[in-house]
Structure 1
C-alpha cells in the first residue's frame, strides 16, 4: 500500500515537472517572438494558452517576467536573466528528447525554415515536393521574408540566404543552383518608344521599376563586364517591396511601363515568350547561389537533420 502511494506521488511529481517544463517552453516562445500572437503562429499554439502558461509560471516563481501592454511585451530584468539561462538548457532538452526520434522508421515533427521570396519561388519548388514524399511525417513550416533574420529568435530551425546575408557562427551548406544571374529586361513596346540602353549608365534616362528592402533601403542594380563593376541607382514610376511586390513589377514591365532588374530565372518565362526583351545581357554578372544555414548544435532535431542530409545528397547528385 505504501509503495502504491509512493508511485502515485512520484507520478504526480513527474506530471508537475512536465507541466513546468511546458510553461518554461511557452515563456521562451513568447520571449523569442516578441509577443503572444507571433509566438502562437510560430509554435502552433493558442495565444490564450500561452498567456495562461505565462500566468502559471509567474505565479510559481513569484516574480514578473514580462511587461505587457495591449500592443507589445517586453522582458523584465528577471525575464531577461531567465531567458539567457533557459535557452541553452531547453535546447539540450529538445535535443535529448529528439534522440528518441531516431528510433522511428521515419523522422517526424515540424521543420521551420525562413527564406527570401526568390528562394521560395526559384529553389524550393525543386526540393520540397520530393522531400515531402520521402518524409511524410515531417511538416514543413516556411516563413517567407526578405529582412535579416536571427533564425533562433524567430523560432525557426534553419534559414536560407545568400552569402552576404548569412548569420555568423552558423553552419552553411549549398542549396539550389550554385551560380545565378540578375537580368535586366523591358517590353518590346517600351524599347520601341524609349530606345535600347547600350551602357548601364543609360538606365539613368529610363523609367525603371525598382525594389525596396524591408529596412527601407533601395535595391541597387549592379553590372559587371571585363572585371569592371558598375552600380546604378536608377529612378522610375514604381517601387515595390521585395518579396510580395515582385509579381506586380513584372506585370508592369510586361505592360510596357519600364525596365525591370530581377533574377534571370524569375524572368525566364517572360524572356522565353518574348513578353520581355533582355537588355545589357553582356553586363549580367553571376553570383553565388543560396545556402541553407543552421546553428552548429551537436544534436540536430530529426526533421532538420533529415532535410540537411536530403539537400546534401541532392547537391551531390547535381554536381556529378
Structure 2
C-alpha cells in the first residue's frame, strides 16, 4: 500500500502538474493533522529506495480523510491519502495522480482479534469491509 498524491483536472488547468519532487514546493498541499497527537503528517516520498521529506506550503489543514479528498476534488491543492481510498476516483479521471513513481510505501494493514471473536458477526463484517475497501481482489485473504 502506498500514499497517493493527487489533484483535480481543474487544479492542473490552473497550476500545472508537478513533474518532480522539487516542483512540489511551488504547489499547495492539503495537509493532514492527526487528531490525537495534533501533529502534521510529514510529506514523504520514495526516491529509488531513499526516503525524501518535502516541504510544501499548505492550502489548508484537515483532520478528516473525506475532507482531504473533497478539497482535492474542488481543486484546492494536492491531496494525499493511502492509495486504495482514491483508486476509483483516479480510475474515473476525477482525480489525477501526482508523481506516482515517488509514492511512499506503507506496511500492510493487519487486524488482530481473539480466535473466537471471528465467530461474532460484527467482527466478520468489519474484516470483510476492510478487505473490500483496502485490498485488491487478488490479494484478499480471510
TM-score over 0.5 (shorter chain): yes
Q: Please name the residue that 1:303 is paired with.
A: 117
SS at match of 1:238: strand
Structure showing greater radius of gyration is 1
Structure with more contact order per residue of length (Cα contacts < 8 Å, sep ≥ 6): 2
Partner of 2:25: 204
TM-score (norm 1): 0.36
Contact 1:212–1:239 (CA<8 Å) still a contact in 2? Answer: yes
**Within the alignment, does 1:183 sit opposite 2:10 as a pair?**
no
Structure 2 residue 44 is matched with structure 1 residue 222:
yes
Runs of 5+ unmatched residues, structure 1 = 1-179, 295-299
Pick aligned residue for 1:277 from 69, 79, 96: 96
The count of residues paired between Structure 1 and Structure 2 equals 126
Q: C-alpha displacement at 1:183, in angstroms?
A: 0.7
Residue 135 of structure 2 corresponds to: none
Inter-partner Cα distance in structure 1 for 2:83 and 2:58: 21
Q: Provide the C-alpha distance between the structure 2 equivalents of 1:184 and 1:301, rounded to a whole number of angstroms.
A: 37
Over aligned residue pairs, what C-alpha RMSD do you find? 2.5
> Helix, strand or coil: the match of 1:288?
coil
- How far does residue 246 in structure 1 lie from its aligned partner after superposition? 1.6
Task: Name 1:234's counterpart in structure 2.
Answer: 56
Summarize deviations over 1:274-310 as a string: whole Å, max 9, x none. Answer: 111111011113222111235xxxxx583357659xx
Rounded to whole Å, the distance in 2 between the matches of 1:199 and 1:228 is: 15
Show the 5 A alignment for 1:37-52: none
Mapped contact 1:238–1:249 kept (Cα < 8 A): no
SS in 2 for 1:213: coil
Contact 2:68 2:80 in 1 (8 A): no
- TM-score normalised per structure 2: 0.76
Q: Which runs of 5+ in 2 are unaligned?
A: 132-138
Q: Deviations over 1:57-115 (max 9, x none)?
A: xxxxxxxxxxxxxxxxxxxxxxxxxxxxxxxxxxxxxxxxxxxxxxxxxxxxxxxxxxx
Measure the CA separation in 2 of the matches of 1:212 and 1:287: 18
Give matches, 1:1-320, under 5 Å. Answer: 180-214=1-35, 215-241=37-63, 245-293=64-112, 300=114, 302-303=116-117, 318=140
CA distance in 2 between partners of 1:273 and 1:301 (Å): 40
